[in-house]
Structure 1
Amino acid sequence: MTQETPKQNIHEYLAELDDIPGTRIYTAARARKGYWINQFAMSLMKAENRERFKADERAYLDEWNISEEAKQALLKRDYNTLLDLGGNVYFLSKLFSADGLPFAEAVSTMTDMTWPEYRQMMLDGGRSPIGNRSIKGGY
């Protein structure tokens, strides 16, 4: 007879991932929270919606069931806040595209680096894992 390893609660497991600096794991809970942000972003795949949005961003956002906090983050292009509110970076890329930003340049705004610094860091092989593996562990 073998002894089974106790199963870890999925919510406890996912909470452990919050310990990775600068990382937001896209969970089912986050997906539910950001549903309307992501639906808005996907709407920008259609040219007529992009035109309406660019003509009056606030009016277009007001057509969506999005919180005021999320609307402000969308207007400010505060992508980190949008990720915290359940936005998915791949859906938000529709907004990057509508703004004429390449994906990597838009993502650089989510860091503490300028676009040229971010680009060079990526060309040099990415961010060092030293100091970026654990918040509470300090490594």
Structure 2
Amino acid sequence: MALEKPYLDIPGTVIFDADQSRKGYWLNQFCMSLMKAENRARFKADERAYLDEWAMTEEQKQAVLARDLNWCMRTGGNIYFLAKIGATDGKSFQQMAGSMTGMTEDEYRTMMLAGGRGVEGNRHIGEDGDAQAHRQPQGQANKD
């Protein structure tokens, strides 16, 4: 029996749930292997050969090679595991987060210091910017 997942309606958000965990198991295991210096060295010496040692999908391998963390997350990667890739590349978490938003590190830092992203357009997929259209009257539950 499939569980209801109302969080799938949040634009640009991948929630790491049980399904994502199963999908990304080997990708995340690969990331954890990068905690050991000898594995980081092997990975950096021949990334493709090292990735081929893992039972990851070809899409997961391509996402890692492209260093596209959003793509990695869509294929089951957990950001806390994926951070090991960034650390292996000498990137800070802030640099990685900036790359995931399409911003430079400085732009990302400035946005976060200013309070983060606005909520307009980020509540529901298909949101037209009119927040009132998506609000439930107070005291009424969402019956969807």
| Corresponding residue number in structure 1 for 2:87 | 97
- 1:78 corresponds to 2:41: no
Opposite residue 61 of structure 1, the aligned amino acid is L
1:113 Cα deviation (Å)? 2.1
CA separation in 1, counterparts of 2:126 and 2:105?
A: 29
| Corresponding residue number in structure 2 for 1:129 | 119
- 1:109 corresponds to 2:125: no
TM normalised by structure 1 equals 0.87
CA separation in 1, counterparts of 2:116 and 2:127?
A: 21
Structure 2 unaligned segments of length 5 or more: list them.
Answer: 132-144
CA separation in 2, counterparts of 1:41 and 1:94?
A: 6
| Corresponding residue number in structure 2 for 1:11 | 3
| Corresponding residue number in structure 2 for 1:3 | none
| Corresponding residue number in structure 2 for 1:4 | none
- The 3-state SS of whatever aligns with 2:101 is coil
Query: Does the aligned pair in 1 maintain the 2:121–2:127 contact within 8 Å?
Result: no
Match of 1:42 among 19, 32, 43: 32
- Matched pairs, number: 129
CA separation in 1, counterparts of 2:96 and 2:126?
A: 29
Structure 1 unaligned segments of length 5 or more: list them.
Answer: 1-8
- The 3-state SS of whatever aligns with 1:66 is coil
1:11 Cα deviation (Å)? 2.0
1:109 Cα deviation (Å)? 1.1
Q: Deviations over 1:71-107 (max 9, x none)?
A: 1110110111110000000000011100000001111
Aligned-residue CA RMSD in angstroms? 1.4
Cα distance 1:69–1:10, how it changes in 2: closer, same or farther (>3 A)? closer
1:114 Cα deviation (Å)? 2.3
| Corresponding residue number in structure 2 for 1:61 | 51
State the percentage of identical aligned residues.
57
1:119 Cα deviation (Å)? 1.3
TM normalised by structure 2 equals 0.84
Query: Does the aligned pair in 1 maintain the 2:16–2:76 contact within 8 Å?
Result: yes
